[in-house]
A and B are shown apart, each in its own frame.
Chain A
Amino acid sequence: MAKTKYKTTVLYLGELASEFIDESIMVFFGQEAPEELHEHSVVHEEATGLDGEVEPGDAVIIDGQSYPVLAVGAVANKNIKSMGHLVLKFNGLDTPEMEGDVCLPEVELPKVKPGSVLEIQGN
C-alpha cells in the first residue's frame, strides 16, 4: 500500500517563480532557505520530513492531482532532506537532465497557490 513519503503546504510564490513555471519547471524551497532563493521559488512549509527516498514510480500529488515520477536525479533526495528543495520538471523524460531533477510527465502545470498541498506517495 502506498504511503506518504512527504507532505508540505505552499506558503507563497516568489515574484519570479513564473520564469521557471513558464519553462515547465517548479522550484520549491523550504522557508528556512536564504531569502534570495525565495524570489524564484514556491516557498513551502514542510509538514513532515522526507520518509525514505523519492523513486521512479512514486506519485507527486498536488492539490489532489497525481503525476507519476518518471526519473529522479542523483541529488534530488539530498536536496529535499537538507533544505526542502525540490525541482519538479514536467518534461516527460525518464533520464534526468540535471542531478536535482524530479521528472514528471509533459503536461500542463498545476496552478499552485498559497495553501496548495504537495504530497509524494510511494511504496
Chain B
Amino acid sequence: MGFWDKVKKTLVGEAPPQEEMKPPKKEEEASGAEQKAAAPKKSGGSGQYKAVVVEKGMRGWGGPLVIQPEPGRELIYSVTGGGIHPVAQKIADLTGGKPFDGFNSKAAFEEIACVVIDCGGTARVGVYPMKGIPTIDVYPASPSGPLAKHINEENFVSGVKPETVKPQE
C-alpha cells in the first residue's frame, strides 16, 4: 500500500457516514407544522418569522406582548384609518409578518397575528381582545366601557410607539 493510499484510506475511513452529517432540521419543521397543521404554507417554514416585544408607552396600560407570526397567521392588521400605521409597519418589518389594512380588505381572524388600533378608549379596545386577537393601541387607553371585561394585560397593550416595539432577545 502506497503512501497516498494510506492517506486516502485514513481520510475516507474516518470520515463520518454521509447521513449523520445532515443537520437535524426535521424536528424544527415538524413542531412548526404541528401548531398550524391546516395552515397553508405560503413561503417556507416558521423559521422566517421573528418575535418582537411590544411594550406600553407613556401613560399606557397592559402588556408587554410578544408577537410572532406563524405560517397562515402572519397578518399585522392595522385598523387605524389612513393606511398602515407606523407601529404596524415596524412590527411587520421586525417579524417578517405582512402589513394589512383592515379598511381596504377583509381578513379571517385566524390569519391575524396582532391588530394595531388608534382607539380613543371605548369600542375597538374591547372588540379585538374579545375575539382573542392580541391588541396594540397607539393611544394610551385603559380598559373601559362594556367590553372592558375582555381586556387584560396578556391581550392588550396601549400607548405604543414604534420605539416601544423591539426585537425579542
Identify the A interface with B (CB < 8 A): 19-20, 22-23, 25, 27, 29, 32-37, 39-41, 73-76, 78-79, 82-83, 85, 87, 89, 97-101
Contacts and interface: CB of A to CB of B under 8 A. Distances in A.
A41 B123 contact: yes
Given A19-B147, A22-B146, A75-B139, A100 B81 contact: no
B118 interface: yes
Interface of B: 79-82, 102-103, 106, 109, 118-124, 126-128, 131, 139, 141, 144-147
A36 B102 CA distance: 10
Q: Identify whether the interface residues of B are mostly helix, strand, loop, or mixed.
A: loop
27 contacts: A19-B147, A20-B123, A23-B145, A25-B145, A32-B103, A36-B127, A36-B131, A37-B127, A40-B127, A40-B147, A41-B123, A73-B120, A75-B118, A79-B81, A82-B80, A82-B81, A85-B81, A97-B121, A98-B122, A98-B141, A98-B144, A99-B120, A99-B121, A99-B141, A100-B121, A100-B122, A101-B121
